[in-house]
Amino acid sequence: MTEIVILTGAGISAESGLGTFRDEGGLWAQHRIEDVATPEGFARNPQLVTDFYNARRAQAREAAPNAAHLALAKLQAARDVLIVTQNVDDLHRRGGAEGVLHMHGRLDRAFCTSCDHHFDAPLVMAPDDPCPACRQPTTRPDIVWFGEIPHHMARIERALSEASIFVSIGTSGNVYPAAGFVQAAQAYGLHTVELNMEPTQGSVFAERHVGPATEVVPAWVDQVLRG
């Protein structure tokens, strides 16, 4: 049974060199969400969208897990922890975490819109790449775009209903349904903790640690492991 549910966002990978979305100069200051992160944007200009994720895939591949990713893997080795991430990078897994739920998809995966075959994404995708299963030129990155339904919601809801602690790390709490997990956690009676560079607006967490993830996450993990 899950004891601790951890939700992570772009802030946990920031010190690995991957930009966040909404901090100053972040990805959404450089690109319009409508253009690169919606099904409509992909239908209008598949090359632009594919290039955007190709660039992010290349960047993610160059990045290394940081002390925060490693600390969560250490916690997972000692306690029953479910890591749910909004991130599409693979730094939790490369940091040693297991069973990570990628609710917004994964840069290293792709799928076919004709036959729903899921497969490992090549480092550089092209919009007319044929599907390895059905050969149709209808592949796309396995990323959940705005207007699409995030993955693993039933599993996450079940974990929240049985856990005793909910922790939110490096996320601004702007994007639902992830932004609503803290309210669900409170309704289930969980202790709620926020670890972030800044307290998020209207934050309702019972416990907060403010600072860079590479400092506050290892410190919080040590505190939990000391019991």
Interaction site with ligand OAD (CB under 6 A): 9-11, 14-15, 20-23, 26, 37, 86, 104, 144, 146, 170-172, 174-175, 196-198, 200, 212-213
If the CB atoms of residues 133 and 212 are measured against ligand OAD, the closer one turns out to be 212
Contact call for residues 90 and 108 (beta carbons, < 8 A): yes
If the CB atoms of residues 2 and 196 are measured against ligand OAD, the closer one turns out to be 196
Q: State the nearest-atom distance from the C-beta of 112 to ligand OAD, in Å.
A: 20
Contact call for residues 7 and 13 (beta carbons, < 8 A): no
Tokens of 98: 């297991």
If the CB atoms of residues 15 and 162 are measured against ligand OAD, the closer one turns out to be 15
* Complete edge-to-edge strand list for the sheet that includes strand 101-102: 101-102, 81-85, 4-8, 165-169, 191-196, 207-210
Q: Is the peptide bond before 177 cis (omega within 30 degrees of 0)?
A: yes
Q: Which H or E run includes 185? A: helix 181-187
CB burial of residue 223 (10 Å; 0-12, 13-18, 19+): exposed
Contact call for residues 214 and 67 (beta carbons, < 8 A): yes
If the CB atoms of residues 4 and 144 are measured against ligand OAD, the closer one turns out to be 144
Instruction: Please state, in angstroms and rounded to a whole number, the distance separating the CA atoms of residues 196 and 205.
Output: 11
If the CB atoms of residues 1 and 149 are measured against ligand OAD, the closer one turns out to be 149
Q: State the nearest-atom distance from the C-beta of 59 to ligand OAD, in Å.
A: 15
Q: State the nearest-atom distance from the C-beta of 86 to ligand OAD, in Å.
A: 3
Residue number of the CB closest to ligand OAD reads 11
Q: How far apart are the first and last CA of the chain?
A: 19
Instruction: Please state, in angstroms and rounded to a whole number, the distance separating the CA atoms of residues 205 and 183.
Output: 9
Instruction: Establish whether 191 is a catalytic residue.
Output: no
List 69, 92, 102, 104, catalytic entry: 104
Grouping H, G, I as helix, E, B as strand and the rest as coil, residue 82 is strand
Q: State the nearest-atom distance from the C-beta of 42 to ligand OAD, in Å.
A: 13
Q: State the nearest-atom distance from the C-beta of 106 to ligand OAD, in Å.
A: 12
Catalytic site positions? 104
